[in-house]
Amino acid sequence: MSYPYLPIISVLNYHPSEGNAGVPIFVQLYFYYPTREQIYLRLNIGWTAVTTQVSKISEKYHRYHLRATIPHRMRYLKVALSIEVVDSQNNVLHSVFVGYFTYKEPDIP
């Protein structure tokens, strides 16, 4: 399967940037990808891809809202957040850095 174009992703904002495991995290973004293939967006917290709810805010302006839940901390207090664009077979087509999330308390299960 060939993907001739890279998706355009621009992170508009995200919150919170710190908290504990179990809190919801929200990301607003602009996303455009000119393809007819079925693709999906997901949030990564650290190295963990988490279940992500995706809502379209504006069809005309290609704005989306992502919602996920912060997982239990595995190792580090500060972890990177990223958005991945994946195809129907879970192949990562593109990834974009969002920012960082800092755990307030050491919550290693």
- In tens, the pLDDT along 25-76 reads 999 999 988 878 889 999 999 999 999 999 998 877 889 999 999 999 878 8
What pTM did the predictor assign?
0.84
Which residues pair with residue 66 across a beta bridge?
A: 27, 54
Q: Name the residue with tokens 């693709």.
A: 39
Cβ(33)–Cβ(10) below 8 Å: no
**20 found inside a domain:** yes
**64 found inside a domain:** yes
Q: How many domains does the chain have?
A: 1
Q: Is the pLDDT of residue 1 over 50?
A: no
Which residues pair with residue 43 across a beta bridge?
A: 50, 83
**51 found inside a domain:** yes
Nearest CA to 88 among 38, 54, 41, 43?
38
Tell me what pLDDT residue 60 has. Answer: 79
Return the sign of the alpha-carbon dihedral for residues 7, 12, 16, 18.
positive
The domain in which residue 34 lies consists of: 8-102
> Residue 31 maps to which CATH number?
2.60.40.10
**2 found inside a domain:** no
